[in-house]
Amino acid sequence: MDNGILVTESFSYAKETLIGKWTRWLIFIICGLPMALLPFIFDPEKIAKATEFSWDLIPWKEMAVLFIAAFLLSFILSGYLARIYRGAATPPEFDNWGPLYIDGIKIFVTGLLWFIPVALAFLLMIAFAILGLSQDSHQPGPLGISLVVIFVIITVALAIIALLYSMMGIIRCARTGSIREGIRFTAITGILRSIGWVNYLIALVVLFVIGIVFFFALSAISLIPYVGDIIQLVFIPVYTIFSARYMTRVYEHSEPQGAGPVLTG
């Protein structure tokens, strides 16, 4: 697997998706707008400068509206990405909105299911830490410490598994149309073995490094008054599409030559 070729091809795919296709780009911008507006209604400095903290300093209603809007609009984006995950040779369109939205929900649920065990293990770790406190000294006892350490290890292990498996599971869900297939551990293990564990880890590192560089540059641009946040909102779709295409091409290295996506509904 040549990561250089995958990066170049995925970047070209992102350009083909957005450059000259202003309607697509605008839809991405609109879907990202609620979270981009959040800093304009919530000012942490205002709370920090307050002599006395008050819950009234937080604009709860406005924040709730933006979070709900962002949540609902996210399914449009994830539904579009599902079409990329299926291996479309040319960038897909925003059409057939009903199926697209349902695909987005499936993608979201699949990713969420992979991280539920991590969340449960983390909550158990917190619970044992609290229950293990000595009533006299308010310090954890030997049993409490042991249980917390065990669940720290379990939480970290589950988080690593979720990080490694969830992306391939999401792509498998998009290609099969089945959430169950997206969380089938043995099937995804087979995919990772076909790709090669070393190849897969290198691919993830490459994507991570590119992401760090990309978002570091955007963070620097965002410091420009007024214009910076707009530029950031405009260019985030480039990395979103690039990463979706890149991981799709990584996934396809597990398939026989010429094999296409299989949709079950």
Q: Which two tokens stand for residue 226?
A: 């007024």
Cβ-Cβ contacts under 8 Å for 106 (sequence gap 6 or more): 82, 173, 174, 177, 179, 182
pLDDT of residue 259: 45
Dihedral of CA atoms 187, 191, 194, 196 in degrees, nearest 10, equals: -120
Q: Which two tokens stand for residue 230?
A: 């707009």
CB 248 within 8 A of CB 85: yes
Q: What is the pTM for the complete model shown? A: 0.84
Instruction: Quick: pLDDT tens for 16-47.
Output: 999 999 999 999 999 999 988 887 777 666 66
Instruction: Quick: pLDDT tens for 178-203.
Output: 999 999 999 999 999 999 999 999 99
Three-class DSSP labels, 197-215? HHHHHHHHHHHHHHHHHHH
